[in-house]
Structure 1
């Protein structure tokens, strides 16, 4: 289902701008966009609610088109601004795309007074120690003292304060011809926005990956600092909590045959780690001694002789590889073992009921890769290096 672009059309409700507003509304609607305009699809509302409803409509829109001529509009004392100005401020604060158009004769007059604005604002700061909340009083003082005022007194001074606010907030504005709606210029802006959107869509996977990586980095940092809290003078101060913290981040996942190819097939899944045992070999010893067990892992096997080649932890200790994988069909458990210098960790992963010895034999590499290539490997890697540096 299509989701058309919402374009808010903002201006003072003066007669000279009404034809342009309506023309823009109809043309944008004809282009399959969703134009939003007070007199066409927002109002009328009671005065007390109309301002808030207009601001809500700005928030709901994607693009904000602003038309400025010679009138400032209805000034609301409680807000310290006109409705049109408030609409612009909402759009600017919410980082909407703002496309302003200003009647050329008005903008020309503003640029003749621009330097005076800077002088008056600086004077205000020197006296009050801060920027003015509004430029309306400064604009009135400048405009009524300007040489062009007598022949252009039909232009409200508020307009110039509004324009100065636009400029100071970094908005470039286009000239407005009251006889023709600025549709062609708006099309140019929309075309450029679509081009930018196309570029962003092309790198959307990269953006999402960066977001994911940032989240993962924070998670890994918190995990690392927590584990380090359990280390003092080269020793683990609380083995049970140390293992429990590791177990909490050992997730499960799907086991895929020929992952990433057209032949990819799901052959089962392994559940999150349900228990961990940790063994250590001490100097001049021929046994691996159980330090701690967590989760459902039992502590029945307090030690293993290095001569016991039936033991998963012994096989891991004597092997040159850091990681090994074993399966015990009686318990429907995978045992993923980690060797880190004098330490051996054995992680228990339950598997789905349809997982069999035949699957383990035929797809052992795929099962091993499913565990090894999961997010949890990032944490296991840190644990391996940490234990490898302990006494």
Structure 2
């Protein structure tokens, strides 16, 4: 038996309307038979809690591919945000987690959007941006205004009111259509829709195959680019410490403290043991000492601290390791270490 936990997880997202149930079930059967793991709300993922939305969003995060089907019904709106449906919340999670997102829209609904809804909606959103110098918080708000203000008897009024499409769906489609490629197919025909979806998945796989042999190099390049960006951003701050050819030590220490971030100290190095032994907070202050004979003398410090002016390196009562006191200059990073919720 194949190990399903190692299979590609594909989240199938749509409203629970009856017209889409045959497609959802048939697609799950095909995907599972192909060695993938299809994730469906109505199927048993394991133990559910009393917060099904949170459970669904967690499953979206666990998946690699997010398949979205949009028909005429909006589905239920969330209690957390009355402007967002459960399906839209799943889409937002997939977007945030940078999943492969493949939206499939009922053909006649997408055709109507392109021919009759898209332009007047774009016009209203453009007007909103000019008026408020920002995007609307919710596209759905603009759609509701458009539906309410459209003059009775116009072609658009008749189509909006006779389409049987919930107004939220026009907002959903607009958000998808304006940012990514959308697929059009007859979702009500489960057999034909499944064939089309499998073909689309195959095209995605085909487009990614040239990059698979160089996947390690791509990941390394991404990591290098992140480090380079971090370095580039730090340069202007560090250059401020050089004024008139002289080093502003205090400012240098302040800048360094901005980039010294804390983190977790693990219980051990095992990848199976994620227990946290202690936490090191971000650096908020730095003291710089210089060794002068048998003493460490303060050179400079940053931020609101009152450091000890000097240490006697021959004093065995001081908690300074031998390899530290042998250095000519010592940088002491003052951070707070928390262990078992108590400072140490």
Q: TM-score, normalised by structure 1?
A: 0.51
Cα distance in 2 for residues equivalent to 1:216 and 1:86: 32
Stretches of structure 1 that go unaligned for 5 or more consecutive residues are 223-294, 296-391
2:292 aligned partner: none
Asked if 1:139 is matched to 2:143, the reply is yes
1:202 aligned partner: 213
1:280 aligned partner: none
Cα distance in 1 for residues equivalent to 2:107 and 2:209: 33
Cα distance in 2 for residues equivalent to 1:104 and 1:15: 18
- 2:101 pairs with one of 91, 95, 98: 98
**Residues 8 and 105 from structure 1, CA distance in 2 versus in 1: closer, same or farther, beyond 3 angstroms?**
same
Shift of residue 45, structure 1, vs aligned partner: 4.5
Cα distance in 2 for residues equivalent to 1:73 and 1:212: 40
The two structures, once aligned, show a CA RMSD in angstroms of 3.3
Matches within 5 A, 1:239-250: none
1:183 aligned partner: 194
- 1:35 pairs with one of 24, 35, 38: 38
1:350 aligned partner: none
2:128 aligned partner: 124
**Residues 207 and 130 from structure 1, CA distance in 2 versus in 1: closer, same or farther, beyond 3 angstroms?**
closer
CA contact (8 A) 1:98 1:171 kept: no
Matches within 5 A, 1:1-391: 3-42=6-45, 45=48, 49-79=51-81, 80-111=83-114, 112-143=116-147, 145=150, 146-152=157-163, 154-181=164-191, 182-207=193-218, 210=221
Cα distance in 2 for residues equivalent to 1:205 and 1:215: 15
**Residues 96 and 216 from structure 1, CA distance in 2 versus in 1: closer, same or farther, beyond 3 angstroms?**
closer
**Residues 206 and 174 from structure 1, CA distance in 2 versus in 1: closer, same or farther, beyond 3 angstroms?**
same
Cα distance in 2 for residues equivalent to 1:215 and 1:137: 37
Shift of residue 88, structure 1, vs aligned partner: 0.8
CA contact (8 A) 1:85 1:162 kept: yes
CA contact (8 A) 2:110 2:184 kept: no
**Residues 202 and 8 from structure 1, CA distance in 2 versus in 1: closer, same or farther, beyond 3 angstroms?**
same
- SS of 1:149's partner is helix
Stretches of structure 2 that go unaligned for 5 or more consecutive residues are 151-156, 235-322, 324-344
CA contact (8 A) 2:66 2:101 kept: yes
Cα distance in 2 for residues equivalent to 1:62 and 1:84: 17
> Quick check: which has more Rg, 1 or 2?
1
